[in-house]
């Protein structure tokens, strides 16, 4: 009887560890980033995009934050989720609309600043940080991946 109970405990321990290990998301590696301006077909929303490329296609949901500094010292900060691409699951690159990084704490005229100054060749620094989930004031998570790009 004692041997059966210890067997159940062993199985329970292995099961619990495998469940906990399954909760961790695969690591990501940021490979490249660039500002893209030639994708818009007239709407005006796709004239400023950020192309983020990873070493492998994204397999889970993550949160990313970007900080962009232009050569004129204009700064744009924002973040959003990054999810696996349903339409192109083997593509390691994601396109993000720069205007979507505008939020209530953005400087006045942020849309015009993006249109005028967030262009290829005018980005002094671009910091990309990837988190397992969106950071909150209560959850001060550290990024699981981070890369600084200069002179884009």
d(CA 105, CA 90): 35
The candidate with the shortest Cα–Cα distance to 35, out of 53, 23, 51, is 51
Q: Is 0.75 surpassed by the pTM of this model?
A: yes
DSSP single-letter state for residue 27: P
Going by pLDDT thresholds of 50, 70 and 90, the confidence category of residue 135 is: confident
> Cα dihedral angle (11, 13, 17, 20), rounded to 10 degrees?
110
Give the tens place of pLDDT for each residue, 80-131: 999 999 999 999 999 999 999 999 988 889 999 999 999 999 999 999 999 9
Domains in the chain, please, with CATH? 26-150 (2.60.40)
Q: Let me know: does 127 contact 66? Beta carbons within 8 Å.
A: yes
């Amino acid at each position: 009887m004692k041997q059966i109970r210890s067997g159940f405990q062993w199985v329970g321990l292995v099961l619990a560890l495998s469940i906990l290990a399954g909760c961790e998301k695969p690591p990501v590696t940021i490979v490249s980033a660039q500002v893209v301006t030639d994708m818009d077909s007239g709407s005006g929303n796709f004239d400023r995009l950020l192309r983020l490329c990873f070493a492998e296609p994204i397999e889970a949901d993550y949160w990313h934050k970007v900080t962009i500094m232009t050569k004129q010292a204009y700064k744009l900060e924002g973040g959003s989720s990054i999810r696996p691409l349903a339409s192109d699951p083997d593509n390691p690159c994601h396109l993000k609309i720069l205007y979507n990084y505008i939020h209530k704490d953005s400087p006045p005229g942020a849309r015009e600043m993006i249109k005028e100054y967030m262009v290829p060749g005018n980005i002094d620094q671009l910091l990309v940080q990837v988190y397992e989930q969106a950071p909150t004031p209560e959850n001060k998570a550290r990024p699981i991946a981070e890369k600084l790009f200069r002179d884009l």
